[in-house]
Structure 1
Amino acid sequence: MTSSFDFTIWPPTLTNSQLETLTLLASTSALANGLLYLPPAEKQPNIPSAAIHAPFSLFPSPFPRYLFDKARRLQNTYNILYARIAMDDEFLDKVMGAEEGLGKVDDFIGQLWRGWKQLRDDGLAQPLHLGLFRSDYLLHTESGGDLSIKQVEFNTISVSFGCLSQKVAALHRYLLQTSGYYQSSPSLRKENFPSNQNIVGLASGLAEAHNAYGVVGARILFVVQPGERNIFDQRPLEYQLLEEYSIQIIRQTFDELAETASVDPSTSILRIACSRDIEPSGFVEISTVYYRSGYMPHEYPTSGHYTTRFLLERSKAIKCPTIALQLAGGKKVQEVLTQPGVLERFLTDETRYGKGVLSVENVNELKESFMSMWGLDVGEDMLLPDLEATVAGTEHYGVRKARKAALSLVLKPQREGGGNNVYKEAIKSFLDNLPPQERQAWIAMELIHPPETGNYLIRAGTTQSESQAPVKAETVSELGIYGWALFGGLNKNVKEREVGWLVRTKGKDSDEGGVATGFSVLDSVLLVD
Structure 2
Amino acid sequence: MTKFDFASWPPALTREQLEALTLAATTYSLSHGLLYLPPAPTQPPAPTSAIHAPISLFPAPVPRRLFTEAVALQSVYNVLYARIAMDTEFLDSVMGAEVGVGRADEFVGTLWKGWKAIREEGVVQPLQLGLFRSDYLLHTESEGGSLSLKQVEFNTISSSFGTLSERAAAMHRHLHASTEYYGLSSHLTADNFPSNNTTAGLAEGLAQAHQHYGASGSRILFVIQPNERNVFDQRWLEYELLKTHDIHIIRQTFAQLATSATLSSPDRKLLVNGHEISTVYFRAGYVPTDYPDPSYYQTRFLLEKSRAINCPSIPLQLAGGKKVQEALTKPGVLERFLSDSKWGTQYNDEQLKRVRGTWMDMWALDEDDTDALSSVSAPSPPSSSSSPSPASTSSTEPAGVRRALAQHASLVLKPQREGGGNNVYKSSIPPFLATLPPAEREAWIAMALIVPPKSVSSYLVRAGAGGTEGAVRSEVISELGIFGWAVFGGGEVKGEKEVGWLVRTKGTESDEGGVAAGFSVLDSIVLVDE
CA distance in 1: counterparts of 2:155 and 2:372, whole angstroms: 24
Whether the 8 Å CA contact 1:378–1:384 is kept in 2: the answer is no
Aligned match of 1:504: 504
CA distance in 2: counterparts of 1:193 and 1:59, whole angstroms: 11
% of aligned pairs identical? 60
TM-superposition CA deviations, 1:245-268 (whole Å, max 9, x none): 100000000000000000113011
Matches within 5 A, 1:145-160: 145-160=145-160
Amino acid at match of 2:51: I
**Structure 1 residue 3, shift from structure 2 partner:** 9.2
Matches within 5 A, 1:365-444: 365-382=354-371, 394-444=396-446
Whether the 8 Å CA contact 2:483–2:498 is kept in 1: the answer is yes
CA distance in 2: counterparts of 1:149 and 1:74, whole angstroms: 11
Whether the 8 Å CA contact 2:372–2:400 is kept in 1: the answer is no
**Structure 1 residue 495, shift from structure 2 partner:** 1.3
Whether the 8 Å CA contact 2:94–2:323 is kept in 1: the answer is yes
**Structure 1 residue 493, shift from structure 2 partner:** 3.0
CA distance in 1: counterparts of 2:508 and 2:282, whole angstroms: 32
Aligned match of 1:229: 229
CA distance in 1: counterparts of 2:373 and 2:37, whole angstroms: 47
CA distance in 2: counterparts of 1:316 and 1:68, whole angstroms: 38
Aligned match of 1:249: 249
CA distance in 2: counterparts of 1:207 and 1:35, whole angstroms: 24
**Structure 1 residue 4, shift from structure 2 partner:** 2.1
SS of residue paired to 1:425: helix
**Structure 1 residue 492, shift from structure 2 partner:** 1.9
Pair 1:302 & 2:293 matched: yes
Aligned match of 1:486: 487
Whether the 8 Å CA contact 1:393–1:436 is kept in 2: the answer is no
TM-superposition CA deviations, 1:353-383 (whole Å, max 9, x none): 23x1111111110000000000000011336
Amino acid at match of 2:29: A
CA distance in 2: counterparts of 1:147 and 1:3, whole angstroms: 16
Structure 2: segments with no counterpart, 5+ residues: 375-393
**Structure 1 residue 384, shift from structure 2 partner:** 9.8
Amino acid at match of 1:373: M
Whether the 8 Å CA contact 1:257–1:308 is kept in 2: the answer is yes
Matches within 5 A, 1:84-99: 84-99=83-98
Pair 1:334 & 2:336 matched: no
CA distance in 2: counterparts of 1:367 and 1:381, whole angstroms: 22
Aligned match of 1:200: 200
Aligned match of 1:278: none
**Structure 1 residue 394, shift from structure 2 partner:** 3.9
Aligned match of 2:103: 104
CA distance in 1: counterparts of 2:431 and 2:164, whole angstroms: 38
Pair 1:319 & 2:310 matched: yes
Whether the 8 Å CA contact 1:156–1:325 is kept in 2: the answer is yes
SS of residue paired to 1:381: helix
Matches within 5 A, 1:442-521: 442-452=444-454, 453-464=456-467, 468-489=469-490, 491-521=491-521
CA distance in 2: counterparts of 1:58 and 1:449, whole angstroms: 24
Amino acid at match of 1:349: D
Amino acid at match of 2:7: T
Change (3 A) 1:485 1:11: same
SS of residue paired to 2:176: helix
CA distance in 1: counterparts of 2:493 and 2:324, whole angstroms: 22
CA distance in 2: counterparts of 1:200 and 1:3, whole angstroms: 37
CA distance in 2: counterparts of 1:76 and 1:222, whole angstroms: 25
CA distance in 1: counterparts of 2:213 and 2:402, whole angstroms: 51
Change (3 A) 1:193 1:292: same
CA distance in 1: counterparts of 2:371 and 2:176, whole angstroms: 50
Pair 1:353 & 2:343 matched: yes
**Structure 1 residue 393, shift from structure 2 partner:** 11
Structure 1: segments with no counterpart, 5+ residues: 274-282, 386-391
Amino acid at match of 2:352: V
Pair 1:176 & 2:171 matched: no
CA distance in 2: counterparts of 1:406 and 1:493, whole angstroms: 40
Change (3 A) 1:384 1:319: farther
**Structure 1 residue 468, shift from structure 2 partner:** 1.5
SS of residue paired to 1:480: strand
**Structure 1 residue 311, shift from structure 2 partner:** 0.3
Whether the 8 Å CA contact 1:62–1:526 is kept in 2: the answer is yes
CA distance in 1: counterparts of 2:185 and 2:395, whole angstroms: 59
CA distance in 1: counterparts of 2:413 and 2:321, whole angstroms: 14
Aligned match of 1:526: 526
Whether the 8 Å CA contact 1:3–1:64 is kept in 2: the answer is no
CA distance in 2: counterparts of 1:435 and 1:196, whole angstroms: 45
SS of residue paired to 2:149: strand
CA distance in 2: counterparts of 1:492 and 1:94, whole angstroms: 22
Amino acid at match of 1:471: V
CA distance in 2: counterparts of 1:267 and 1:377, whole angstroms: 44
**Structure 1 residue 338, shift from structure 2 partner:** 0.7
Whether the 8 Å CA contact 2:486–2:493 is kept in 1: the answer is no
SS of residue paired to 1:516: coil
Whether the 8 Å CA contact 2:328–2:334 is kept in 1: the answer is yes
CA distance in 2: counterparts of 1:492 and 1:384, whole angstroms: 35
SS of residue paired to 2:371: coil
Aligned match of 2:382: none
CA distance in 2: counterparts of 1:288 and 1:94, whole angstroms: 28
**Structure 1 residue 13, shift from structure 2 partner:** 1.1
CA distance in 2: counterparts of 1:384 and 1:249, whole angstroms: 52
With normalisation by structure 2, the TM-score equals 0.94
Please report the RMSD computed on the Cα atoms of aligned residues, expressed in angstroms: 1.5
Amino acid at match of 1:469: G
CA distance in 1: counterparts of 2:437 and 2:252, whole angstroms: 38
CA distance in 2: counterparts of 1:33 and 1:198, whole angstroms: 15
With normalisation by structure 1, the TM-score equals 0.94
CA distance in 2: counterparts of 1:121 and 1:3, whole angstroms: 62
SS of residue paired to 1:265: coil
**Structure 1 residue 461, shift from structure 2 partner:** 1.8
Whether the 8 Å CA contact 2:82–2:493 is kept in 1: the answer is no
Whether the 8 Å CA contact 1:395–1:436 is kept in 2: the answer is no
CA distance in 2: counterparts of 1:121 and 1:319, whole angstroms: 18
Aligned match of 2:381: none
